[in-house]
Amino acid sequence: MTWREELLALRHQGFDVLDWLSARDDGEVTIVACLVRSDDPSQIRLVHSPAPVVSVADLFPSAAWHERETAEMFGVDFGVVAEPLLLPAASPPVLRKQTPLPARLHEWPGAVDPAKPRRRQDPPGTPWT
């Protein structure tokens, strides 16, 4: 069963609200959606599918924003061209594990230099010898 077919089947079962949609990157990007029944919000379903998947914004209008955010942050193609929400257009997908974080690209002050020996540090309250 495809991503769209699974969500459509759940919609026919009464899960008519797409509460949340995002992705996770465990070396492979997986799309995750949370569906809720409006008549009984205590009933929820999580749906997982490997990327890429097709857009379901026509089935669940709330999916449009979530798909745009997921496309921008994880680089997932939902088959819909949309403007970025949060980042400049040429930005890499920042939540992918393979994307280097700019803060990690330079050396921080106070970083430990493995070539220099570190002085021994005694626990607090240890008398001087």
Residue 67 lies in a domain: yes
Residue 64, in any domain of the structure: yes
* Domain count along the chain: 1
CATH number for the domain harbouring residue 73: 3.30.460.80
Is 47 contained in some domain? yes
Q: Is residue 120 part of a domain?
A: no
Task: Give dist(CA 51, CA 23) in Å, integer.
Answer: 9
pLDDT in tens, 70-115: 988 888 888 877 777 777 777 777 777 667 666 666 666 666 666 7
**pLDDT score of 30:** 93
Residue 117 has pLDDT above 70, yes or no: no
Residue 108 lies in a domain: no
Residue range of the domain that includes 11: 3-99
Chain segment 6-57, per-residue pLDDT in tens: 999 999 999 999 999 999 988 889 999 999 999 999 999 999 999 889 999 9
In a domain, 57, yes or no: yes
Q: Which of 70, 71, 23 is nearest to 48 (CA)?
A: 23
